[in-house]
A and B are shown apart, each in its own frame.
Chain A
Amino acid sequence: MSFLRIEKIGKAYPGVQALQDVSFEVQAGQVHALVGENGAGKSTLIKILSGAEQPDSGHIWLDNRPYAPHTPKDALAANVATIYQTFNLLPDRTVAYNVLLGKEARGRWGLLDLEAMRTQAREILARLGASHLEPDMPVGRLKVSEKQILEIARALLNRSRLVIMDEPTSALNQTEVDALFQIIARLKAEGVTILYVSHRLDEIFQLADAVTVLRDGRHISTQPIGAVTRDSLIQDMIGRKLTGVFPEKAQPSMTEVLRVENLTSENLLDGVSFSLYQGEVLAVAGLSGSGKTELGKALFGDLPLDRGHIWFQGQPFRPSPTRAIRRGILYLPEDRKSEGVMQELSVRRNIALASLDRVANPFGFLKPAAERDLAAEQIRVLAIKTPHMEQLVLNLSGGNQQKVALAKCLAARPEVLILMEPTQGIDVGVKFEVYQFIAQQAARGRAVLLISSELSEILGLAHRILVMRDGRVAAELQADQADQETILRYALGAGDKSPVS
């Protein structure tokens, strides 16, 4: 009997069809896995099921009744609970308050009955096998795995019949993962249906009864777990993608520009080492949470490092944006709108921002003509579409804003470019221009570290590929010997664990 039935769900965001005609069914009391690459539409589907977003088209049935939550509250009322990667807990309050939030026990005169709350919290935590959590502990001091248990406890208290878990193991160690799996088994034994979103194929084979694959916003397959293999799942996730026209790759030189040894940062980066050569495009692939974003940030000083060494052109380098830019290491942030450009400044000033000292005299007085020349040159080179250079950046299209952010890097005469998701959220035409730009920069001897979630652009542009997983370099591949399947295999941790060089 199907408990959750999703029928022809569609959802578009400006410029992206996030979901298109997605239909599948989830059987009652099962653990149903939902898998797909970054951008496959998993998050959008979760948002719709949890009431955070509404679909443009299609219907959902829950237990044979129409289900169309308009707010997260509607979803909770229908006994659907969602456990996100980030928690909705009040860190300064106790375990009991958090578990019973909105369902506090009342005593005489409407005052809180603290003793009853403690008892209830204890009961529910015991059911989850987490009796070690005391009701009076402040939540802020709990471990990530323990916070997750509180969220699940809350879901249980709401008598949830469908629990959606979004990458629940991404921040857990193995012992914690095992404990979570036991909890999931208990939930299942109580008849709760679970929609389990994960990148990790191992877990899916361990837990799930059925698995659904999404790709590019479309439903690809829904099968019982016995009917699939690792290879068939990976095949479904990749599909046959359109490979764009990528520019020729020039031969990189043997001169090492950047050497990174043993970079470690909390539980985000774990002993990352690699070298980057002149004229090389080195791509960093990996799923979200693999550490690839953190690696880029760490190299530019936007993430504190616990250990590790960086050498730039043979000299030790301690990352900070100011030092990096002075030595020719430029960085294109992932979040263009809030970090890449200054919305309320002109195109001219945005382009010159990282090179102000070069358009000023030694006393710090700007030379307006020099600044204009600098901006004009970049506007021409990158073909930025703007009526004039005094235009505020917020009036430009997303793709042209991205070009302004690139122009700022280029104007500062880079030796190394760290590009974070350079084509995210920009239209196809500009995407192609950005590819040309990257290839040109490499051909001119600049070293490019391309951090990207798009496998096609990684394969099309890179000379070498680092695949990251769990904060480590899982594999180093030569681009001409790699394909999407190999990359994904390492990214998922489903392949040979010894690095290939």
Chain B
Amino acid sequence: MATPDHTPLLPGQQQGTPRRIINFIGEQGFIVIFILWALYLSVSTNNFATAQNVFTILRQATIIGIVAIGAHFIILLGDIDLSLASNLTLSGVVMASLMVNQELPPLLAVLCALGLGGLIGLVNGMVITRLKINAIITTLGMLSILEGIAFIITQGKTIFGDAIEAIKFLSRGTLFDAIPLPVIVLFVFYAAAFVVLARTTYGARVFAVGNNSKAAWLSGINVDRIKVLTYVLAGMLAAFGGVMQVARQGTATGGMGSDFLFPVLTAVVLGGASLTGGRGKIVNTLIAAVFLTTITNGMVLLGISIYTQRVVSGAILIIALSLDRLRTVRV
């Protein structure tokens, strides 16, 4: 009854052309769907493949994309943060309220929002690392708290006023009268995130903690500090998303972030980051964020109702992840 000594092959090591195609589709599955979808829209609508519309898509992808950077970092650690979208809401509401009601200078109001976002991340991180409470539970509780506070502040009304005009350039501004400012912001943030992950000791430690937190701790890495720092970073990015959203709408409401929870987490997962941590490419998260926006954009162009859009978005998430399974499950 000898056990055969089999060395497991890694994905990508398997031989044969069909296997390779499956691997490619599995790894880059959403990119394949993305391309097919874009081709279809180019053919069936008149205004999809225009520079105007491409910039519109990128502009819309900005906020999802920026908040998704934080979500990506946290998922790399093997944790999850469900409170990012409500952090966006509260930070945006507080900033708008400070500008309109307290007449704070715009820059100061923006800094307050970023500080608040970071503080929320700090609380999340401390509760998770010090009290050892599960990240899902902690951030789910935080989600409810932040949304509640946002509604208390707004009293269910919309905050608007001329003071908000001062930050509208963040959304409406352009470079060389062509490239929208938010698109520049998006790419700069992703370039920075890429450098941080690939080229800093902090990034190396994030990957190490996500890979094996016990081994990371035994290698002298202060695991708790890395986690707290990452929650703070993600909180500040979410708050910046809130700033961008207020700049775009010119108003703030207690419900302004609720549509972001799903696409932000979907972008990271669709981009192939492993929910158990340690594996994920930031570039793929960017592509996935743009892809998700393109889906919505295309469905609007095709005249599909927003309710149907939600069904399609959910289905796409599941289909894309099923393609990933093709790779790992032996067929």
Q: Is B200 touching A360 in the complex (CB atoms < 8 A)?
A: yes
Instruction: Collect the chain B residues with CB atoms within 8 Å of residue A12's CB.
Output: 2
Chain A residues in 8 Å Cβ range of B208:
342, 345, 349, 353
Q: What 6 A-B pairs are tightest by C-beta distance, nearest first?
A: A325-B220, A356-B201, A353-B219, A354-B219, A342-B211, A364-B201
Binds B, one of A142-150, A242-250, A254-262, A333-341: A333-341
* 16 contacting pairs across A/B (C-beta < 8 A): A14-B3, A14-B5, A57-B1, A300-B218, A339-B214, A342-B211, A342-B212, A343-B212, A344-B278, A345-B207, A345-B211, A356-B204, A364-B201, A365-B200, A368-B199, A392-B10
Q: What B residues does A354 contact at CB under 8 A?
A: 219-220
B201 touches A366 (CB 8 A): yes
Q: Is A360 a contact partner of B222 (Cβ separation < 8 A)?
A: no
- Complex interface: chain B residues within 8 A of A365 (CB): 199-201
Q: Considering only CB atoms and an 8 Å cut-off, how many residues of chain A contact the other chain?
A: 37
The answer to whether B211 touches A321, judged by C-beta atoms less than 8 angstroms apart, is no
Q: Does A277 contact B (CB under 8 A)?
A: no
Complex CA–CA separation, A357 to B214 (angstroms): 20
A353 neighbours in B (Cβ, 8 Å)? 204, 208, 216, 219, 221
Contacts across chains A and B counted by CB atoms under 8 Å: 78
Chain B residues within 8 Å of A, Cβ to Cβ? 1-3, 5, 10, 199-202, 204-205, 207-208, 211-212, 214-222, 278-279
Contact: A366 with B219, CB < 8 Å?
no
Q: How far is the CA of A57 from the CA of B2 in the complex (A)?
A: 10
> Which of chain B's residues have a CB closer than 8 A to the CB of A333?
215, 218
Closest to A297 in B: B218
Beta-carbon contact of A339 and B211 below 8 Å = no
Question: A161 contacts the other chain (Cβ, under 8 Å)?
Answer: no
In the bound complex, what is the Cα–Cα distance between A324 and B5 (angstroms)? Answer: 39
Specify which chain B residues have a CB less than 8 angstroms from the CB of A345 in the assembled complex: 207-208, 211
Which residues from B are CB-within-8-Å of A14?
3, 5
Q: Which residues of A (52-85) have their CB < 8 Å from a CB of B?
A: 54, 56-57
Query: In whole angstroms, what is the CA distance A331 to B217 when docked?
Result: 12
Given known pairs A325-B220, A360-B200, A364-B202, the reply for A339 and B1 (CB within 8 Å) is no
Closest to B7 in A: A395
B212-A338 in contact (CB<8A): yes
Quick check: is A302 within 8 A (CB to CB) of the other chain?
Answer: yes
Q: Give the Cβ gap from B327 to chain A, nearest Cβ, in Å.
A: 16
User: How far apart are the CA atoms of A324 and B222 in the complex, in Å?
Assistant: 12
Is residue A223 within 8 Å, beta carbon to beta carbon, of the partner chain?
Answer: no
Residues of chain B with a CB closer than 8 A to A343's CB:
211-212
Chain B residues positioned under 8 Å from A341 (CB to CB)? 215
A342 to B215, Cβ gap below 8 A? yes
- In the complex the two chains form, what is the Cα distance from A353 to B220 in whole Å? 8
CB distance from B272 to the nearest CB of A (A): 14
**Interface assignment of A93: CB less than 8 Å from any CB of chain B:** no
Shortest Cβ gap from A379 to chain B (Å): 18
Identify the A interface with B (CB < 8 A).
12, 14, 54, 56-57, 300, 302, 321-322, 324-326, 331, 333, 338-345, 349, 352-354, 356-357, 360, 364-366, 368, 392, 395, 408, 412
For residue B205, which residues in chain A have a CB less than 8 angstroms away from its CB? 356
A345: nearest chain-B partner, CB-CB: B211
Excluding A368-B199, A408-B219, 15 further A-B contacts by CB distance (< 8 Å) are: A12-B2, A56-B1, A321-B218, A321-B220, A321-B221, A326-B220, A333-B218, A339-B212, A344-B279, A345-B207, A354-B219, A356-B201, A360-B201, A366-B199, A395-B10
Q: Which of B5, B202, B218 contacts A339 (CB 8 A)?
A: B218
| CB-defined contacts of B278 to chain A, threshold 8 Å | 344
In the docked arrangement, what's the CA distance between A418 and B192, Å? 39
Chain A residues near B204 (CB-CB < 8 A): 349, 352-353, 356, 366
Which residues on the A side are within 8 Å of B218 (C-beta)?
Answer: 300, 302, 321, 331, 333, 339
Shortest C-beta distance, B78 to chain A (Å), equals 12
Query: Complex formed: what's the CA distance from A228 to B66 in Å?
Result: 76
Task: Tell me, in angstroms, the Cα distance from A325 to B217 when the chains sit together.
Answer: 11
Q: Please, how many angstroms separate the alpha-carbon atoms of A356 and B207 in the complex? A: 13
Please give the distance in Å from B278's CB to the nearest CB on chain A: 6
CA distance A372 to B51 in the complex (A): 44
Q: A14-B5, A349-B204, A356-B204 are in contact. Are A340 and B220 (CB under 8 A)?
A: no
Task: Identify B215's interface contact among A57, A322, A340, CB under 8 A.
Answer: A340
Given contacts A324-B220, A344-B279, contact A364 B211 (CB under 8 A): no
* Contact yes or no, B200 A366, CB < 8 A: yes
- Which residues from B are CB-within-8-Å of A392? 10
For A321, what are the chain B residues with a Cβ–Cβ distance below 8 Å? Answer: 217-221
* Contact flag A344-B211 (CB < 8 Å), given A14-B3, A356-B204, A364-B202: yes
B82 smallest CB distance to A (angstroms) = 26
The winner among A54, A302, A342, A349 for most chain B CB atoms within 10 A is A342
Residues from chain A with Cβ under 8 Å of B215 in the complex: 333, 338-342
Q: Which B residue sits closest to A56, measured CB to CB?
A: B1
Residues of A within 8 A of B199 (CB): 365-366, 368
Return the contact of A325 from the options B207, B212, B219 (Cβ within 8 A).
B219
Separation of A122 and B204 alpha carbons in the complex (Å): 58
Q: Which residues of B contact A357 (CB under 8 A)?
A: 201
Residues on B with C-beta less than 8 A from A54 are 1
Task: List chain B residues, Cβ under 8 A from A300.
Answer: 218
Please give the distance in Å from A52's CB to the nearest CB on chain B.
Answer: 15
Distance in angstroms between the alpha carbons of A14 and B278 in the assembled complex: 29
**A343 vs B8: C-alpha distance when bound (angstroms):** 13
Q: Separation in Å of the A426 CB from the closest CB of chain B?
A: 16
Q: Which residue of A is nearest B225, CB measured?
A: A322
Closest to A330 in B: B220
Kindly list chain A residues whose C-beta atoms are within 8 Å of the C-beta of B219.
321, 325, 353-354, 408
